[in-house]
Structure 1
Amino acid sequence: MTMRGLIWFVLLFAAAAALALVGVFDGGQVLLVIPPYRVDVSLNLFVVALVVTFIVLYAVLRAIRSVWKMPQRVSAYRTRSRLAKANAALRDAIGHLYAGRFSKAEKSARDSLNVDENAGAAGLIGAKAAHEMHEYARRDEWLAKVTDSDWQDARLMATADMRADGRDADGALVALTEMQAQGGRRLHAQQIALRAQQQLKNWGEVLKLVKTLEKREALHPAVAVRLRQVAAENLLRDRRHNPDALLEFWQTLSPVERQSPRLADLAAELLIALDRRNDARKIVEEALNHNWDARLLRRYPDCASPGDALPLIQRAEAWQKERTEDADLLFTLGRLCLHQQLWGKAQAFLESALKLADNEPLKIRTHRALARLHEQLGDSDKASQHYRESALAMNVV
């Protein structure tokens, strides 16, 4: 029983009690004259009859009103039923979508369109389901159903995300540009833009977006480092025909990036190809001062100008005083001495490197360097022996 019914119940009992009390003490009569008739009844009976008449009239009027409003009630019931079914279908669509049942998700989303208010949510769910099934034309049809102004940001964000996922980078950027024109600037939009710019190989934009997202802590540090490195590598390669532009871009990189062995090695390689060996040397030396790396040591001899490797030999010998058993450094010194035609020192450094070498590639390179050295000295037997040793050092299965 509801609170309203309980109150009516209490009021009826109170009225009945009041009538009973009045009936005990009241002996009045009511005379009704309806010519040619006269009706004489007790006051109590008259009151009871009046109450009963009121109740009957009220019940009849309620019945007439109910019959009169029956079409409206039926219509309201059907509307509620349709709304309940549509909302249930929308909930099912969400469940199917995240469960990976994309065909069922799309069907449920279509069923939920019976209610206009569901058009926005159903359109996005249906579009995502169609996208996951690679039905891109149907996906766009679903997105076109999202016309409510309150859902436009969601539609544009979903469009950009799905187009980037479908390798349609231009379409993704168009959607993001439209959203930004409407005043929407969101972190997720920048993440989508990053994916799209990577696909388009717009490495300058990639580098800007990575820096922005890194400041907002929206990228894992390892991912940010890798993306910055890839972008910088490609931007360096884009300038491989212009040494001044390459060096200018190099200076725009952060100290951490300039000290990266991978980037420093690439920059040095490109500068050497452009005959800017002194600039390449500075880059390699700066990186080695912060990150000792075998790759940079292998690149270092290439930085020597023809017949002028002495400054590099002196620098490498200074390093060697602190790293007496570094096989890669000894190999580098051997190559530099070969370059300067210091045959005795070259042989000593290379043989020491061979003794300390603990990996197959270094052994192969050292044997080949010794073979070339003995060729220069005219000792073909030893040269052949080292070529043979380099071949045997290859672990070919």
Structure 2
Amino acid sequence: MKTLFTFLIILILAAILGIVAYQDNGYVLIGRGYTTVEMSLALFIVLQISLYLLIAFILRSIKQTWSLPDIIKQHHHRSKTAKAHKTSKQGLIALAQGQWKKAEKALIKNIDNTETPLLNYLSAARAAQKLNEPERRDHYLSMAHKSMPDADFAVELTQAELQLAHGQLEQSLATLVHLRSISPKHSHVLNLLAQLYEKLSSWQELNDLLPELKKYKVVNQAELYRLQKIVFQQLLKKAAKVTETNKIPNHLISTWQLLPKKLKNDADLILEYSQQLIQLKQYDIAEPLLRTAIKHQWLTTFVYLYGLVKATQAQQQLDFAENLTKQHGQNPVLLLTLGRLCLTQELWGKAQAYLEASLGITPMPETYKELGELMEQLGEPEKASDYFKQGLLLTESHFSYQNLPIQTLPIN
């Protein structure tokens, strides 16, 4: 467009000059000593313009000749840069395709001429990680830092991620703690820390991190719930051990109180807490917890644990369990639970009826065991021995009540 505009200007000026020359050709006289040159004004102007163009051409040629080494150098640099860009592109494609060896080789081949050495070194470090070459990985990370010192955070973040993937948990922890001190709200740092604490079984540290994961929306709701659940499962187990040592249940109970309301309704956590309470013989705390859980959701594991509870209000406990037979009268685990609750109250005949009914539906080792002990109590050692023997045979077949189908029907 610029060339066309210049051409039009010259054309217009030439036209004007032609018109002027046609009307009056003009006269120019140049003299020096005894020598004179005469010519028309139009010719003089043409010669002046021609001379100017000739001088400009000569000066331009001299300048280009003088700059020729730089031009060749720039062309060579552009050629090397283009080649480096091509190999870098090939390396990144190979990395995405899982061709780790090919990727590493391509990424570092022309790295001195690439415009993004940091990216190449970090990508090469990932490839070396996949090839199980931690020394080469660390070398590339070191070179990445040297190539761009201002990108120290990015290099360390990549280093922490690769250390975590390689199982170098302590080194990764040190790196991530340092990065968190620099950028406390960085979502990827927090996410990696959550993964690391879970691998290290550092449940209290992970619990302390949960509010930040939620606040900054580092993970989705499903993942947050999973982390909360596993944290409190482990904290409940830890609290139970402390309680068992101190013989005081307060630590276990206070840990349960820390749970968010939603988690207190989680079946797995209720089971975990109930089992710990039963093991610590805190029956009067376990009974209402399991009764409420059974009312909201029918799980055979809830019902099974309910039969292990020896609450102070034993009759009320038995009445509640018997009321469940209206909907689940043919459930073998419920009948086993009823048999156990009757045994607690020394209702021998009723206990025997429930236990035998349970065996009639699904034989279970624990049912045989309870009947064997009942027969001993009733002074019938032969029957007791027979029940114990059948229970042992069933146990050898690796039976477990947990393998029974779990029903999840709501109770009205």
TM-score of Structure 1 vs Structure 2, range by shorter chain = 0.7 to 0.9
2 CA distance for matches of 1:265 and 1:28?
Answer: 115
Residue 267 of structure 1 and its aligned partner are, at CA, apart by 2.6
Determine if the alignment matches structure 1 residue 340 to structure 2 residue 341. Answer: no
Alignment match, 1:370? 371
1:30 maps to 28
Encode CA deviations 1:144-163: one digit per residue, 9 max, x unaligned.
22333542332232222222
Aligned pairs, number? 390
Tell me the secondary structure at the aligned position of residue 304 of structure 1.
Answer: coil
TM-score (ref. length: structure 2):
0.83
| Residue in structure 1 matched with residue 157 of structure 2 by the alignment | 157
Which string of whole-angstrom CA distances, capped at 9 and with x for unpartnered residues, describes residues 204-233 of structure 1?
A: 222344454356555455544443332222
Helix, strand or coil for the counterpart of 1:39? Answer: strand
> Given that residues 179 and 189 in structure 2 are in contact (C-alpha distance below 8 angstroms), is that contact kept between their aligned partners in structure 1?
no
Q: State the partner residue of 1:246.
A: 252
Deviations 1:115-167 (A, max 9, x none): 47523222221211111222112112212223335423322322222222122
Distance 1:215 1:29 in 2: 91
Q: CA deviation at 1:377?
A: 2.6
Matching of residues 96-115 of structure 1 within 5 Å: 96-115=94-113
Shift of 1:21: 2.2
Aligned to 2:405: none
Q: Work out the CA distance in 1 between the residues paired with 2:223 and 2:360.
A: 39
Give 1:317's aligned amino acid.
E
Cα offset, 1:75, TM superposition: 2.6
- Aligned-residue offset at 1:178: 2.0
Superposition map of 1:139-218 within 5 A? 139-147=137-145, 148-210=148-210, 212-214=212-214, 218=218
CA contact (8 A) 2:156 2:175 kept: yes
Match of 1:269 in 2: 275
Distance (whole Å) between structure 1 residues aligned to residue 327 and residue 153 of structure 2: 61
246-255 or 270-279, which moves further after superposition?
270-279
**Equivalent position SS for 1:69:** helix
Deviation at 1:249, TM superposition (A): 0.8
Name the counterpart of 1:57: 55
Could you list the per-position Cα deviations for residues 166-201 of structure 1 after superposition, in whole angstroms to 9, with x for gaps in the alignment? 222222222222222223522222211111001111
Percent identity over paired residues: 28
Paired with 1:276 and 1:370, the residues of 2 have a C-alpha distance of 26
Aligned-partner Cα distance in 1 for 2:5–2:184: 55
Note if contact 2:303-2:333 (Cα within 8 Å) is conserved in structure 1.
yes
Helix, strand or coil: the match of 2:108?
A: helix
* Bigger relative contact order, structure 1 or 2 (CA pairs below 8 A, ≥6 apart): 2
Range that drifts further, 253-262 or 133-142: 253-262
Is 1:353 equivalent to 2:358 in the alignment?
Answer: yes
With 170-179 and 62-71 compared, the bigger mean Cα shift is at 170-179
Instruction: Indicate whether 1:296 and 2:302 are aligned.
Output: yes
Q: CA RMSD in A?
A: 3.0
Could you tell me the TM-score, scaled by structure 1's length?
A: 0.85
Counterpart selection for 1:95 from 93, 96, 100: 93
Listed as ranges, the gaps of 5+ residues in structure 2 are: 244-248, 400-412
1:337 is aligned with what amino acid? C
Q: Name the structure 1 match of 2:136.
A: 138
SS in 1 for 2:38: strand
| Structure 2 counterpart of 1:266, one-letter code | E
Whole-Å separation in 2 of the counterparts to 1:293 and 1:331:
14
Query: Secondary structure of the equivalent of 2:29?
Result: strand
Alpha carbons of 1:204 and 1:277: their partners in 2 closer, same or farther (altered >3 Å)? Answer: same
Distance in 1, Cα, partners of 2:214 & 2:390: 49
Is the CA contact (8 Å cut-off) linking 1:112 and 1:118 kept in structure 2?
A: no
Q: Distance in 1 between matches of 2:32 and 2:206?
A: 102
Q: What do residues 78-112 of structure 1 show as CA deviations (whole Å, max 9, x unaligned)?
A: 33333333333333332222121222322232235
CA pair 294-168 structure 1, distance change in 2 beyond 3 A: same
State the alpha-carbon separation in 2 of the partners of residues 166 and 185 from structure 1: 25
Contact 1:233/1:263 (8 A) holds in 2: yes
Provide the secondary structure at the position in 2 that maps to 1:145: helix
Which residue among 313, 316, 322 is the counterpart of 2:321? 316
